[in-house]
């Protein structure tokens, strides 16, 4: 997908918190490095943990200007075109979607930028987060079944949910 993008820009003067983007090739290399998933997908009970991982990965790749809505700082005095940045933002969106569980993805499917996804998730999980966590835990505990597992394994499952 990224290799099909034409070389549309020569240079950029963007210096972000995580490094610099000086050419279109830098943007495509960064986008190609999004070819990984986090160990844990975002679900109803792990937003803080997920957010720390995602923010660190995005900063490491120098793409934090997308989720901070500072994209205009790149294009204002840059040869990197808005189309190039839109494509990279779309790749970041795909990466974010791939790291969100199917239970949560419905809340962000209408978002049109990585910034919009970030803000939507932030508002979703910060409003009444305690009630949401308790509801999630209640659902998990109600769905747990002993089945053929030993008492020890069953209690371990319950403790894992409680932690």
Closest CA to 7 of 27, 37, 31: 27
Reference 45, options 107, 130, 143, 108; nearest CA is 130
Model confidence over 65-75: pLDDT tens digits?
888 887 666 65
pLDDT for 106? 93
The domain locations on the chain are 2-127, 129-163
Confirm if 16 and 65 have CB atoms less than 8 A apart: yes
pTM of the model: 0.63
């Amino acid at each position: 997908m990224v290799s099909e993008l034409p070389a549309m820009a020569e240079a950029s003067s963007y210096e972000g918190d995580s490094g610099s983007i000086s050419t279109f090739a830098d943007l495509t290399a960064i986008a190609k490095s999004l070819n990984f998933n986090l160990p844990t997908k975002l679900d109803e009970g792990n937003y803080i943990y997920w957010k720390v991982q995602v923010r660190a990965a995005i900063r490491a790749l120098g793409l934090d200007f997308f989720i901070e809505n500072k994209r205009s700082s790149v294009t204002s005095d840059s040869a990197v075109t808005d189309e190039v940045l839109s494509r990279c933002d779309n790749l970041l969106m795909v990466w974010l979607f791939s790291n969100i569980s199917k239970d949560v993805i419905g809340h962000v499917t209408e978002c049109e930028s990585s910034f919009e996804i970030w803000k939507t998730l932030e508002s979703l999980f910060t409003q009444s987060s305690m009630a949401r966590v308790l509801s999630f835990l209640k659902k998990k505990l109600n769905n747990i079944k002993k089945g053929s597992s030993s008492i020890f394994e069953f209690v371990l499952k319950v403790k894992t949910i409680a932690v």
